[in-house]
Structure 1
Amino acid sequence: MTLSPRLPFFVYGTLRPGEPNHDAFLRGRVRAEEPARMEGAALYDGPGYPYVVEDVRGGGMVYGDLVTARPEGYATLLADLDRLEEYAPGDPRSLYERVAREVLRDVDGTGVQAWVYVAAPSVAARLRARGRLIESGDWRGRR
């Protein structure tokens, strides 16, 4: 079994501060949270929760937060987030894939490698064909 690198997480939906899963999964388990954005991606309504779809054209932007886990609880948090996102490596039924991507800190624009849960290929294809795009790229602004 290969160990995953201990990257921060880019959260863009229900795990953001003030959203329903933040307190249940992240409160007390993170060292830092800061606004960030991901270029080359589009945001779709699930409904009920969002999906990031990597944009082959590269023009989209998704807004969220960069979350750095406390080192002592990293492995447990990673496993909990994988379960929440229904991600199982190699399982074709997974709704999401966890991938390492560059995200940009809002404060200074520096790039950081982070884990991002993106729509699995079959889900992404359905969303591109007939999903509801969140044009602002911000889950909080969808209403």
Structure 2
Amino acid sequence: MTTTTAVSTGPAPELPFFVYGTLRPGEPNHALFLRGRTSREEPARLGDAVLYDGPGYPYVVEESGGVVTGDLVTALPEAYGSLLAELDRLEEYRPGDPRNLYERVAREVVLSGDGRRVRAWLYLAAPPVAARLRTRGGRIESGDWRGRGAWGEEG
């Protein structure tokens, strides 16, 4: 018996976004891209992932046992399509492009408040970037961009 997996060519599902760096509330890109376009922003965690400093911006790399701290951001329905396109441009993500630095993927995150699990979009380091980071990247041990310490801050 042969099993096939359909590849969707239609629009992306309207999932919330897990943001973990410069798009988090209080960070510079939140004000530029998300302020006034969300209905909810809740602290959340992504399991089996670690955080690296870009430098100046973070990358998530999947790794068993790690935890990344961030926020689950739910877009206003009327803003969703344009926001998704703008975030893809910000992260320089184009579906199927081997030059991507990030890949947009759906993963399950856990809300910090009530422990609910929610499927969300997030931008992971693309495989070549992840491989480079694993060998010589600056890992943020806390898993929290805000707790990266003076060595990771610009200035």
Matched, 1:17 2:25: yes
TM-superposed deviation, 1:2: 1.5
Q: Does 1:123 align with 2:129?
A: yes
Runs of 4+ with deviation above 2 angstroms: none
Q: 2:3 is matched with which residue?
A: none
Unaligned runs of 5+ residues in structure 1 are: none
Deviation at 1:50, TM superposition (A): 0.1
Match of 1:74 in 2: 80
Deviation, structure 1 residue 110: 1.1
Which one of 111, 114, 138 corresponds to residue 105 of structure 1? 111
Structure 1 residue 122 displacement after superposition: 0.4
1:59 aligns with 2:91: no
Q: Distance in 1 between matches of 2:119 and 2:66?
A: 18
Counterparts of 1:53 and 1:115, CA distance in 2: 14
TM-score by length of 2: 0.90
Q: Any idea what the Cα deviations from partners look like across 1:92-122, whole Å, max 9, x if unmatched?
A: 1111000000000000111100001000000
Whole-angstrom CA distance in 1 between matches of 2:94 and 2:126: 11
Please name the residue that 1:50 is paired with: 58
**Match in the other structure for 1:37:** 45
Aligned position for 2:152: none
Work out the CA distance in 2 between the residues paired with 1:94 and 1:6. Answer: 22
**Number of aligned positions between the proteins:** 141
Percent identity, aligned pairs only? 72
Aligned equivalents of 1:67, 1:17: Cα separation in 2: 9
Q: Unaligned stretches of 5+ in structure 2?
A: 1-8, 150-155
Deviations 1:22-57 (A, max 9, x none): 0000000000000000000000000000000011xx
Match of 1:137 in 2: 143
* Residue type at the aligned position of 1:50: P
